[in-house]
Amino acid sequence: MLLNKYKILAQNPASEARSLWRRWPVAVAALPFFGVVAAFGIAPDTVPEPVELQHIVENIELPVAPTAPSQETFWREERIQRGDTVASILSRLKVDDGEALNYLLQAKDVRSLYQLIPGRTVRAVTTEAGRLESLSYVNTDGRRLHVTRNEAGFSATEELPQTEQWIMQSSGEIETSLFAATDASGVPEAIALQLAEIFSSDIDFQRDLRRGDRFSVVYEALAADGEFSGFGRVLSAEFVNQGHAYRAVFFRDDKGRSGYYTPEGRNMRKTFLRSPIEFSRITSGFSLSRFHPILNAWRAHKGIDYGAPRGARVRVTADGVVSFMGRKGGYGNVVVVRHPNGYETLYAHLSAFGQGLRKGRRVAQGEVVGFVGSTGLATGPHLHYEFHVNGVHQNPMRLAMPAGPPITAQLRALFDQTAEPLLARLDMLRDTNLARLD
Ligand SMILES: [Zn+2]
């Protein structure tokens, strides 16, 4: 956009250009401009051959207005490229100022400029003749270097960019898969994965999801100096699965420990995860499948089979110790983990084991113990998962033992205060969601 303005300057009488500079919206030339600008950028008073221009009116947003210009000043922004030097950047920024170049190459307090990380931007304000008025650059630790001209020459300051947190919210309904629904609602992938993680002790996103399930999510987006810099964390979420509503709120206590809690203050983290298959875009479309065992004897099937592509990550569902790891008959490559209180889980048909895994090693809930395969008696890649209580196979789906500590009585007031506005947003999202369905 700045280049557009420059072009106007080059192709119009100077007076007209000056009035355009101040007026928004402005007329800009709708022509390819990069090469043209490069051609007359350095000598703007060289008026080129008249070119037939098509003028369109556009709203243009200035990044920052030039600071109190004593004369006409120009804002330019350049993206750093591999191999750039301070001199080459200045040249592209149309800075034609030996004093400025000397200062930038010698002053100690502008050293961070030399990092010149490709992809970052440098912004400069210059006069029409290329005299540098100010320059800014965000260095690796996120601080903005700001160089300004003063009576004595130049001075440099470094400051942290103004960071902002934007609160985003979205809701949707499941038609086919969680990703299809989050994509349709414009929820970024990183947030969809967090959503699945937060409810991973309550909902198996591969097997439990039903058409008509609904979600609402409130999350952070971060910005530095007014520019979007990434998505943060989920602040609150609701998932209505098969008619049952689960709600979670993020809370950080006074000691910096953080986690997700129900509105009543119970910890969302349970002793066992609902699914040993890591939820991801590649596994989200798969569901419980019947892999017909090859042998009749194998039919006394004491486990749950998860259809998943070869190589999908298999994670241990609770903290424990590896009690077996290796090849074992029809199980193929198998990992058995012993947990406290007589629980044991088994992961079979693996194509490979988790990195560094061995018998006797402690594993933490969610740690990758292997990868989906079809070793042993398996007709196709899938995970065979068993859950034993005191040596007897049980259905893990009936267990929902809380693992993380709840909100303590002394933190209750602070928790309620934090949770209230986040839960109010979920109420609002639920209402709009339901209204849309009517
Ligand atoms: Zn099986």
Q: Write out pLDDT tens, residues 214-230.
A: 999 999 998 877 778 78
Distance from first CA to last CA of the chain, Å, rounded? Answer: 45
pLDDT at 362: 97
Report how far ligand 1's centroid is from the alpha carbon of 349 (Å): 9
On the question of pLDDT at 80 being above 50, the answer is yes
365 C-alpha to ligand 1 centroid (Å): 22
- Residue 246 has, within 13 A of its CA and on its CB side, a CA count of 21
Alpha carbon distance 358, 261 (integer Å): 34
Q: Pick the residue with more confidence: 289 or 433?
A: 433
Q: What does the pLDDT read at residue 383?
A: 92
Cα of 311 from ligand 1 centre, angstroms? 17
280 pLDDT exceeds 90?
no
Q: Is the pLDDT of residue 345 over 50?
A: yes
Mean pLDDT across 404-428: 94
* Spacing, Cα 302 to ligand 1 middle (Å): 7
Nearest Cα to Cα of residue 213 among 205, 221, 225, 223:
205
* Residues around the ion ligand 1 (C-beta < 5 A): 303, 305, 384
Distance (angstroms) between ligand 1 centre and the Cα of 405 equals 34
Report how far Cα 147 is from the mean position of its chain's Cα atoms.
32
38-47, 50-59, 115-124, 392-401: least confidently modelled range: 38-47
Q: How confident is the model at residue 431 (pLDDT cuts 50, 70, 90)?
A: confident
Mean model confidence pLDDT for the chain:
79
Q: What is the pLDDT of residue 402?
A: 65
Predicted confidence band of residue 432 (pLDDT cuts 50, 70, 90): confident
Higher pLDDT, 22 or 409: 409
Average pLDDT over residues 169-186: 91
349-372 residue pLDDT tens: 999 999 999 999 999 999 999 999
Higher pLDDT, 342 or 72: 342
Mean pLDDT for 408-434 is 91
Residue 348 CA to ligand 1 center (angstroms) comes to 8
Per the CB < 8 A criterion, the answer to whether 258 and 250 are in contact is yes
Q: How far is ligand 1, taken at its centre, from the CA of residue 301, in Å?
A: 6
Can you tell me which residue has the tokens 């194998």?
298
Q: Is the pLDDT of residue 111 over 70?
A: yes
| Distance from the alpha carbon of residue 297 to the mean position of ligand 1, in angstroms | 12
Question: For position 131, what pLDDT does the model report?
Answer: 93
Rounded to the nearest 5 percent, the helix, strand and coil shares of the chain are 25, 35, 40
Ramachandran area for residue 366 (φ above 0: left; ψ -120 to 50: alpha; else beta): left
Distance 391 CA to ligand 1 centre (A): 17
Q: How many whole angstroms from 333 Cα to the centroid of ligand 1?
A: 13
Indicate whether 210 pLDDT > 70.
yes
> In angstroms, what is the span from residue 296 Cα to ligand 1's centroid?
13
Matching residue, tokens 């099937």: 301
Q: Which residues pair with 315 in a beta bridge?
A: 368
From residue 359, give the alpha-carbon distance in Å to each of 333, 338, 353, 386. 13, 11, 12, 18
How many angstroms does the Cα of residue 319 sit away from the middle of ligand 1? Answer: 23
Judged by average pLDDT, the poorest of 5-9, 111-115, 203-207, 256-260 is 5-9
- Rounded mean pLDDT of 309-329? 95
